[in-house]
Amino acid sequence: MIIVIQCTDRVGLVADISGLLSQEGLNIVSLREHVDTAENLFFMRLDVAGTADDTALTSKMQHVLPADAIININPTPVKKVVVLVTKEYHCLADILVRNYFGTLGAQVQCVIGNHATLQNICERFDIPFTLVPHQDISKPEFEHKISTLIAQQNPDYIILAKFMRILSPEFVAQYPMKLINIHHSFLPAFAGANPYRQAFERGVKLIGATAHFVTNELDEGPIIAQQIIPVNHSLTAPDMVKAGKEIETAVLAKALRLVFEDRVFVYQNKTVVFE
């Protein structure tokens, strides 16, 4: 049993929670907690052994926790996801392999692409692929078609696996903290387009990738995971792109694992991540 809690902090929260679980005959296998002292916020993730009625336990916890407590007991163990793609295959391929072997922690319901480039690889893994071209139609119409397809799947999360289209605020608002993007840069550096070219021209000695939730501000949503590798003057811009793709795949995989295991709390455009 997994329990995740977010609320205003106060003295004795850990003792109250552990005492209640003990009374219910539940054993705490692992516990991670964090307090943001500046905001007076408390975050906790518990792995608990034993059985209990989720609704009844939630009610009892509400009586011992602050009134603003957000409590989630036994979140969906296998999340449902929809993947949005354009032409680059590396992140999608990794997701499809993990999905095939049951190590993704989620089930890929379908893939939606604005180009047909990646249809073949989806068919090889027996994953439905739908082409929604963005040419010759308005942006609202394009996004409406995608939203309609997503609604048919009712996913827990939508993964932007190198989906190279800027989404409108109206589209993003439909999926608060459900859109997960992989950005080919160590944000906040080199946001926007062509970050590897920007990095090459700047002569940086490190490049990286960032997985984050999508908000209305381009590439400024809450960060889930990041990673960097060293580079030097001998690498060309194409070399950086090649190295960057490997980082992107690894960072997105890590971020998805953390999210799917309910290890990520979001607040005020920041995250608490219990790795």
Q: What would you report as the CA-atom Rg of the chain, rounded to the nearest whole angstrom?
A: 21
The residue with tokens 């679980």 is 21
Q: Of these residues, 94, 156, 219, 262, which one is catalytic?
A: 219
Angle between helices 237-260 and 195-202 (to 10 degrees): 130
Over residues 214-269, the pLDDT tens digits come to 998 877 899 999 998 777 777 777 777 777 788 899 999 999 999 999 999 999 99
**pLDDT higher than threshold 90 for residue 98:** yes
**CA–CA gap between residue 200 and residue 27 (Å, rounded):** 53
As a whole number of angstroms, the distance between CA 191 and CA 244 comes to: 14
pLDDT value at 196 more than 80:
no
CB environment 84-120: b (16+ within 10 A), e (fewer): bbbebbbbbbbbbebbeeeebbbebbbbbbbeeebee
pLDDT at 110 over 80: yes
Least confident of 85-99, 113-127, 196-210, 224-238: 196-210
pLDDT, mean of residues 14-30? 96
Mean pLDDT to the nearest integer, 177-201 = 71
Q: How far apart are CA 218 and CA 168, in angstroms?
A: 10
Q: At what angle do helices 54-64 and 13-23 cross, to 10 degrees?
A: 140
Name the burial class of residue 148, with classes exposed (0-12), middle (13-18) and buried (19+) by CB atoms within 10 angstroms of its CB: exposed
Tell me the pairing of strands 2-8 and 41-49.
Answer: antiparallel
pTM listed for this prediction: 0.89
Who wins on pLDDT, 245 or 202?
Answer: 245
Start-to-end CA span in the chain (Å): 17
Q: Are the C-beta atoms of residues 96 and 125 closer than 8 Å to each other?
A: yes
**Average pLDDT of the residues in 170-196:** 79
Question: Which domains are delineated in the chain?
Answer: 2-73 (3.30.70.260), 79-273 (3.40.50.170)
Dmax (CA) of the chain:
63
Instruction: From residue 132, give the alpha-carbon distance in Å to each of 135, 143, 146, 159.
Output: 9, 9, 7, 16
Is 219 known to be catalytic?
Answer: yes
What's the rounded Cα separation, in Å, for the pair 252 and 235?
24
Q: Tell me the C-alpha distance between 244 and 238, whole Å.
A: 10
Residue with tokens 């916890």, as numbered in its chain: 61
> What CA–CA distance (Å, rounded) separates 30 from 52?
17
